[in-house]
Amino acid sequence: MALTRSALEAAVADYREEEPFYPVEREGIETLPSAFRTGEFGWRDAAWVVRWYYRRSLGAIPNAERRRHEDAFERNAFDDVRDAIVAAATAIDRDDRSSAIAEPVDRLTALEGVDVPVASAFLFFGAPVCCIVVGEREWETLRTHGHLERPYPESPSLADYRTYLDRCRSLAERFDRDMWWLYRGLWRLGQGDGDGT
């Protein structure tokens, strides 16, 4: 059963009221796109994106696994992190087609501790109008409602992200909304408390 505007609108409203990370996410969505394009951000801003990716599930990812990823990211030199994030953000600015995300994802995944899902988090906070984060919960919401066929991959590839991004962009365009709106709806519906109709 396909997702509807009303189901997503209700889920987005619930997100604001129920999700503990909403205030800091909103601040990141408002400030990080410009900072990531210009390079006017610090180490804490970059590390926050990685922490957010793993901690937004509130304990669903085992602490040891989460720390392993966060520690790996922290081994990167800040100049390398800044260069990769700026290159990714400016590449998306030049060409926001899903076929053009290979360069930004490649730049980001060259960093230690950054796989395709974490790279998608950087793209989400760098370009929330046209990019969205991928994770099991959001993916499975789309699959449950008939927008994806396969279960969430164990280790999502660039091709997997491109497929997911295409589906998300189609939905955002259909509902005349941005990816930040869609993310919140998919995340809340992923709790199983809404049927998407």
Instruction: Enter the pTM of the model.
Output: 0.93
> Could you read off the pLDDT of 134-173 as tens digits, one per residue?
999 999 999 999 999 999 999 999 999 999 999 999 999 9
> Could you read off the pLDDT of 1-37 as tens digits, one per residue?
678 999 999 999 999 999 999 999 999 999 999 999 9
Q: What is the 3-state secondary structure (H, E, C) of 88-149?
A: HHHHHHHCCCHHHCHHHHHHHHCCCCCCHHHHHHHHHHHCCCCCCCCCHHHHHHHHHCCCCC
- Greatest extent of the chain over all pairs of C-alpha atoms, in Å: 47
Q: Do the Cβ atoms of 117 and 23 come closer than 8 Å?
A: no
Between CA 79 and CA 81 the distance in angstroms is 5
Between CA 91 and CA 174 the distance in angstroms is 25
Say yes or no to pLDDT of 70 above 60. yes
